[in-house]
Amino acid sequence: MPDDANEGLPRVALSQLPPDPHRLPPPGAWFAPDAERHLLDRPKFCPMCAASIETHGGISTEYWMGDQRVFMTWCGECGWFGDVVRYDMVTITEEEH
């Protein structure tokens, strides 16, 4: 997974994850750690109206782009639709100048 912040750290045991009512894939599932991280890191609240994404019927689909994890998010309360990107380091490619 591209999240370098966790590289080298021991994998979090399922029992140590914060309480969460959501079901996870079985521990032996192929990419269980990625599914666990998705559950922990997906946006919980709308960046526009602050409504809970989950309780207002929204959805956040995670996709990866290079080293970034991007959450394409739709808020069911206000209709905001956009990408929420978690940065570990902000990199900017300079134009010729």
Residues that bind other proteins (CB under 8 A): 22-25, 29-31, 34-35, 38-39, 57-59, 61-65, 70, 72, 74, 76, 79, 81
Which residue, 38 or 86, is less far from other proteins as judged by CB? 38
Contact 43, 60 (CB under 8 A): yes
What b-and-e string marks burial along 20-46, b requiring 16 or more CB atoms within 10 Å of the CB? eeeeeeeeeeeeeebebbbeeebbebb
CB of 78 to other proteins, least distance (A): 12
Which three-class secondary structure state does DSSP give residue 87? Answer: coil
Which residue, 55 or 97, is less far from other proteins as judged by CB? 55
Which residue, 19 or 97, is less far from other proteins as judged by CB? 19
Residues linked to residue 65 through DSSP beta bridges, in sequence order: 68
CB of 97 to other proteins, least distance (A): 27
CB of 36 to other proteins, least distance (A): 10
